[in-house]
Amino acid sequence: MGGGPGRRGRLRGAMRVPREQLRALGLVAPLLIFIGVTFIAALATMLMRSVHDPVVADALPETVALLRGWDGERLPAEAVYETAARELSRAGEERTIGQVAGRVNRVQGGLRSVFTRTARDLEDEAPDPAAATGTPWRDALIALDTAWADPATWHAIRTTGERFTSRNYLNAVDMDRLPDGTIARQPEERRIYLRLFWRTLLVSGAITILCLLLGYPIAHLIARAPPRRAALLLVLVLVPFWTSLLVRTTSWIVLLQTQGVINDILVAIGLVSDDGRLAMIYSMTGTLIAMTHVLLPFMVLPLYSVMRGIPPQHMSAAASLGATPLQAFLRVYWPQSLPGVGAGALLVFILSIGFYITPALVGGSDGQLISNMIAYHMQTSLNWGLAGALGGILLVGVLALYMVYDRLVGVERMGLH
Amino acid sequence: MGDIAEMVSQPRQEAPPEVHVEFAGVSKSYDGRTLVVKDLDLRVRTGEFVTLLGPSGSGKTTILMMLAGFQTPTAGEIRIGGRPIQNLPPRKRGIGMVFQNYALFPHMTVGANLAFPLEVRGMGAEERRERVGRALELVRLGELSDRRPGQLSGGQQQRVAIARALVFEPSLVLMDEPLGALDRSLREEMQYEIRRIHRTLGVTIVYVTHDQQEAMVMSDRIAVLRDGVVEQIAPPEGLYEEPERAFVASFIGENNRLHGRVTGMTDRDVCEVETGGVRVRALKVAPCEPGDDVTLSIRPERVEINPEPGRYRNELDARVEDLTFLGDHLRVRLKACGRDDFIVKIPNVLGHGGLLEGDGVRIGWTASDCRALNHEGGEE
DSSP structure class, residue A135: S
Architecture of domain B4-241: 3-Layer(aba) Sandwich (3.40)
Which of A8-17, A307-316, A384-393, B5-14 is predicted with the least confidence, judged by mean pLDDT?
B5-14
pLDDT, residue A221, reads 94
Sign of CA dihedral B66, B67, B69, B74: positive
- Mean pLDDT over residues A80-101, rounded? 88
CATH 3.40.50.12780 for the B256-374 domain, yes or no: no
Higher pLDDT residue, B111 or A17?
B111
What is the structure's pLDDT at B8?
42
Mean pLDDT of chain A: 85
**Percent of chain B whose pLDDT exceeds 70:** 93
Computed on alpha carbons and rounded to an integer, the radius of gyration of chain A in Å comes to 31
Could you tell me the residue ranges of all domains in chain B?
4-241, 256-374
For the cut 90, the answer to whether the pLDDT of residue B154 exceeds it is no
Q: Where are the alpha helices (DSSP H) in A94-192?
A: 97-107, 111-124, 136-144, 151-160, 167-172
DSSP string, B310-369: TS-SEEEEEEEEEEEE-SSEEEEEEEETTEEEEEEEEESSS--TT--TT-EEEEEE-GGG
- Structure confidence at residue B168 as a pLDDT band (50, 70, 90): very high
pLDDT tens string A86-96: 888 888 888 88
Residue A220 reports pLDDT greater than 70: yes
Give the model's pLDDT for residue A10. Answer: 54
Phi, psi of B205 (to 5 degrees): -125, 130
Rg (CA), chain B: 25
B35-45 and B19-29: which strand pairing? antiparallel
Q: What is the mean pLDDT of chain B?
A: 86
A297 phi, psi to nearest 5 deg:
-60, -35
Residue A380 pLDDT exceeds 80: yes
Name which of A323, A415, A417 is nearest B120 (Cβ-Cβ): A323
Cβ(A208)–Cβ(A348) below 8 Å: yes
Q: Which residues of A touch B95 (CB under 8 A)?
A: 320
Write the residue in A320, A324, A415 that is nearest to B68 by C-beta: A320
Smallest CA–CA distance, residue A311 to chain B, in Å, is 8
Alpha carbon distances (Å) from B347 to A361, B307, B322: 88, 15, 16
- Of the candidates B257, B219, B209, B286, which has an alpha carbon nearest to the alpha carbon of residue B44? B219
B107–A335 CB contact, under 8 Å = yes
Contact B207, B219 (CB under 8 A): yes
Name the most confidently modeled range: A115-119, A249-253, B35-39. Answer: B35-39
pLDDT value of position A189: 83
Report the distance separating Cα A279 and Cα A285, nearest Å. 9
Decide if B91 touches A, using CB distance below 8 A: yes
**B150 interaction partners in chain A (CB closer than 8 Å):** 416-417
Q: What percent of chain A has pLDDT over 70?
A: 91
Nearest to B101 among A311, A320, A331 (CB): A311
Q: List CB contacts (< 8 A) between A417 and chain B.
A: 148, 150-151
The DSSP symbol for A197 reads: H
Q: Is B214 helix (H, G, I), strand (E, B) or coil?
A: helix
| Predicted local confidence at residue A300, as pLDDT | 93
Nearest residue on chain A to B173, judged by CA atoms? Answer: A320
- At A106, the pLDDT band (50, 70, 90 cuts) reads confident
Residue A361, number of CB atoms within 10 A of its CB: 20
Q: Which of B62, B88, B116 to mutate to test the interface with A (most CBs of A within 10 A)?
A: B116
Mean pLDDT of A387-416: 77
Residue B150 CA: distances (Å) to CA of A6, A339, A416, B158:
42, 17, 7, 12
Asked if B131 is an interface residue toward chain A (Cβ–Cβ < 8 A), one would say no
pLDDT in tens, A19-59: 888 888 899 999 999 999 999 998 999 999 999 989 898 98
pLDDT digits (tens, 9 = 90+) for B172-206: 999 999 988 788 888 888 899 899 999 999 999 99
Mean pLDDT, rounded, for B257-275:
85
Residue range B254-262: average pLDDT?
Answer: 87
End-to-end CA distance of chain B: 50
State the pLDDT confidence band at A130, using cuts at 50, 70 and 90: low
Rounded Cα gap, residues A339 and A412, in angstroms: 8
Cβ atoms of B255 and B380 closer than 8 Å: no
Answer whether residue B19 shows pLDDT above 50.
yes
**Is-contact A127 A145, C-beta < 8 A?**
no
Does residue A231 surpass a pLDDT of 70? Answer: yes
pLDDT at B1 over 50: no
**B44 residue type, one letter:** V
> What pLDDT sits at residue A127?
60
Q: Which residues on B lie below 8 Å from A321 (Cβ)?
A: 91, 116-117, 120, 164, 168
pLDDT at A289 exceeding the cut of 60: yes
pLDDT tens for A309-363 read 999 999 999 999 999 999 999 999 999 998 899 889 988 998 999 888 888 888 8
Please return the burial class of B379, using the count of CB atoms within 10 Å of its CB with bins 0-12, 13-18 and 19+: exposed
Domains identified in chain A and CATH numbers: 55-161 (no CATH), 193-416 (1.10.3720.10)
**Angle ∠(B56,B58,B60) on CA atoms, nearest 5:** 90
